């Protein structure tokens, strides 16, 4: 067997699970991808949205090699039909471009799982940026 198979089995991944890895130093920013399953050669696959490349297929071991260990998993608890619908939505989005503010990796996974293009990370960091800007403006008055 291979590393992607071993990682998927070790973490008990099922199609439709959200896989989290670090995207930044100290894990401040998380990378979100969607586990879609194994192929006939026992390679485990995710679909992710990557800067400069957009939504694409990635072997799980390549994701881990690039970003480090899996740091979290959000289990998919819907029905089998809902699970399949989410995977089909992810497949239909392959090739869509990455946009840090409106369609990043978290937007992508929330889009296919919940039909909501939302990113809590963008909301939090956007709020912090606005607060810092306000402090700078007030201090310079």
β-strands 44-50, 70-74: how paired? unpaired
Per-residue pLDDT tens digits for 78-100: 999 999 999 999 999 999 999 88
The pLDDT-based confidence of 125 (bands split at 50, 70, 90) is: low
pLDDT for the residue 1? 61
Give this prediction's pTM.
0.84
Which CATH number describes the domain made up of 3-139? 3.90.1720.10
User: What does the DSSP assignment read for 13-39?
Assistant: --TT-EEEEE-SGGGSSEEEEEEEEE-
Instruction: Look over the chain and give the mean of its residue pLDDT values, rounded to a whole number.
Output: 86
> For residue 75, is pLDDT > 90?
yes
pLDDT for the residue 82? 96
pLDDT for the residue 124? 55
Per-residue pLDDT tens digits for 21-64: 987 666 678 899 999 999 999 999 999 999 999 999 999 999 99
Per-residue pLDDT tens digits for 97-120: 998 888 988 999 999 999 988 886
């Amino acid at each position: 067997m291979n590393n992607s198979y071993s990682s998927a089995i070790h973490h008990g991944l099922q199609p439709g699970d959200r896989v989290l890895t670090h995207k930044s130093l100290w894990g401040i920013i998380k990378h979100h991808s969607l586990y879609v399953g194994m192929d006939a050669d026992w390679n485990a696959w995710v679909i992710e949205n990557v800067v400069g490349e957009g939504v694409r297929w990635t072997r799980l071991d390549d994701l881990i090699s690039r970003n480090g260990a899996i740091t979290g998993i959000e289990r998919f608890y819907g029905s089998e039909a809902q699970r399949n619908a989410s995977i089909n939505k992810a497949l239909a989005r392959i090739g869509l471009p990455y946009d840090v503010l409106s369609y990043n990796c978290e937007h992508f996974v929330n889009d296919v799982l919940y039909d909501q293009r939302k990113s809590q990370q963008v909301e939090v960091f956007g709020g912090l940026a606005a607060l810092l800007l306000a402090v700078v403006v007030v201090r310079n008055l």
